[in-house]
Amino acid sequence: MAVTKLLRGLLREIPHTIVQGSEDTAVSGVAYDTRKITGGEVFVCIAGTVVDGHDYIDKAVSAGAAAVVVTRDVEVPSGVTVVRVTDDRKALALLSVAWFDNPAKSLLTIGITGTKGKTTTAYMIYHLLNGAGIPCGLIGTVEIIAGDTHISASHSTPESYVIAEAMAKMRDCGCKAVVMEVSSQGLKMDRVYGITFDYGLFTNLEPDHIGGNEHPDFEDYKNCKRKLFSMCKKGILNADDAHFPEMIEGCTCEVVRFGASEGCDYRMTQTALLNEAGRKGVSYRITGRREMDIVTEIPGRFTMYNSLAAAALGCEVGIPGDTMRRVLRDVRVRGRVESVPVSAHFTVLLDYAHNGMALRSLLSTLREYQPKRLVCMFGCGGNRARDRRYDMGEISSKLADFTIVTSDNPRFEEPEDIIRDILVGVAKGPGEYVTVPDRREAIAYALSHAQEGDCIVIAGKGHEDYQEIRGVKYPMDDRAMILEEAERLGIS
């Protein structure tokens, strides 16, 4: 039987005016996309940066919307209730929360913000909580997980309705917690409005997502990130980050510090790189509120901070030390410095690094492991800023010994044109290079030319399992191709 609810109850927390119709209108759901209307929904007109929902009211009414929520004067046929609000995105968030009976209140809610490390830290916490017997869901860049259901994600922080719907699925399938990536855009666009997080985590902050339809400047980007710490009960923050003082400025939560600095509540000491045959990772000791030794088989000093953030959360929640040590030792994150086992003679890593900042951090980190050669294979996405191509080419040529330039998601551009732009940057560095436009052939080239002691990085796509060409997404999974080509080549 279809569920209906009266608008009156859904609007209880939202300042509004009934322009036409009645608050006693029964609705069958909440929608912000006319394609999702099946009949009886309340349609929220979102005035986005590209599309304005007010322009689709006729389509929504034709599809059967029983009510519309607007922020300006509109012409709507009689018989359809019109609700006027001052903030469309906050209205959508609160309507969604109300429609799903505020699922966040039934869950331990953990939000993670920062420029880098959100995905890895979220998965670490997801595995920590589940490993401790606390059923946990996840909302992030790669996917949404609710029980046994995995749904591919399109945004780090999806629209508020999707968040409320996902949390309701988690609640209904027995989850007791949810960990989610909270992006600057998610905060700017009020996608998490109406949620009070039990814990908010801060990884780090660097200029990113500035320009276009994102943030006008770094100050706006930083201020959006900072919002999380006025929306949570307890903040767990990286005290080593240069912007830590600004992140806690004006915050309303209890502050817990982690890092290598003196005075941290969870301080890492005795840090070391784990660099053995077939194994690369990090190790350190936590002191402060708890004491324990941690080993994580994901390479990179940034892994120390990501895992320390997860461990601090685990300690605050009360997860036993043995469980944390076991989970953090064994955890793997798809497409995030992910080791793909193909040979005992060289290392193959898969990573999502798809801009200059991320590639620089990745290659600099791997240099610390002193491989015989550092080989970097990557491409750049089409219909994106050309400067990214020059930057990535130059960074790879300067930090890697050998660069293999290939195709990523060309979208509506020709792969050869993108490669030519990348080579402008490659020419600024001393590294050797080759171009192999076909991505599978590029992977085969990397594997067939591997030398003893090499570290090969396949960068750019990470967890993605498609290649986008002229509006069509074709199946393509770097991890699967690495394993298939290694088998075809007889590599062991």
In tens, the pLDDT along 180-239 reads 999 998 999 999 999 999 999 999 998 666 566 666 788 898 999 999 999 999 999 999
First-to-last C-alpha distance (Å) of the chain: 57
Judged by phi (left if over 0) then psi (alpha if -120 to 50, else beta), residue 294 lies in beta
DSSP 123: H
Task: Give, for 126, the enclosing helix (H) or strand (E).
Answer: helix 118-131
Q: Give which of 372, 368, 336 is closest to 272, Cα–Cα.
A: 368
Q: Alpha-carbon distance 359 to 365, whole Å?
A: 10
Question: Over 90: is that where the pLDDT of 421 sits?
Answer: yes
Report yes or no: 56 and 62 within 8 Å, Cβ to Cβ.
no
pLDDT band at 150 (very low <50, low <70, confident <90, very high): very high
| Residue 184 in tokens | 């600057």
Cα four-point dihedral sign 85, 88, 89, 95:
positive
How far, CA to CA in Å, does 107 sit from each of 95, 202, 256, 324, 334?
19, 20, 21, 21, 25
Q: What is the pLDDT of residues 68-99, one digit of tens each?
A: 999 999 999 999 999 999 999 999 999 999 99
DSSP calls for 31-67: ESSGGG--SSPEEE--B-SS-BGGGGHHHHHHHT-SE
Mean pLDDT of 392-410: 98
Question: Over 60: is that where the pLDDT of 1 sits?
Answer: no
3-state secondary structure of 131: helix
| pLDDT value of residue 210 | 59
| pLDDT value of residue 348 | 95
Superfamily of domain covering 5-99 = MurE/MurF, N-terminal domain (3.40.1390.10)
| pLDDT value of residue 263 | 95
Same fold: 103-330 with 338-489: no
| CB neighbour class for 108 (10 Å; exposed up to 12, middle 13-18, buried from 19) | middle
Q: Give which of 70, 66, 76, 74 is closest to 92, Cα–Cα.
A: 70
Q: Alpha-carbon distance 463 to 310, whole Å?
A: 21
Task: Give, for 474, the enclosing helix (H) or strand (E).
Answer: strand 472-475
Q: Alpha-carbon distance 244 to 258, whole Å?
A: 11
Question: Over 80: is that where the pLDDT of 52 sits?
Answer: yes
- Cross-strand partners of 234: 199, 254
DSSP 220: H
Q: What is the pLDDT of residues 328-385, one digit of tens each?
A: 999 999 899 999 999 989 999 999 999 998 899 999 999 999 999 999 999 999 999 8
Q: Alpha-carbon distance 113 to 197, whole Å?
A: 12
Residue with tokens 């590639």: 359
Residues 6+ apart with CB under 8 A from 121: 112, 201, 203, 306, 307, 309, 310
Q: Give which of 35, 52, 53 is closest to 44, Cα–Cα.
A: 53
What is the third-level CATH fold of 103-330?
A: UDP-N-acetylmuramoyl-L-alanine:D-glutamate ligase (3.40.1190)
Tell whether domain 338-489 is in CATH 3.50.50.60. Answer: no
Residue with tokens 């979208």: 411
Q: What is the pLDDT of residues 231-275, one digit of tens each?
A: 999 999 999 999 999 999 999 999 999 999 999 999 999 999 998
Task: Give, for 179, the enclosing helix (H) or strand (E).
Answer: strand 177-181
Q: pTM for this one?
A: 0.91
Domain ranges across the chain: 5-99, 103-330, 338-489
Q: Alpha-carbon distance 358 to 388, whole Å?
A: 11
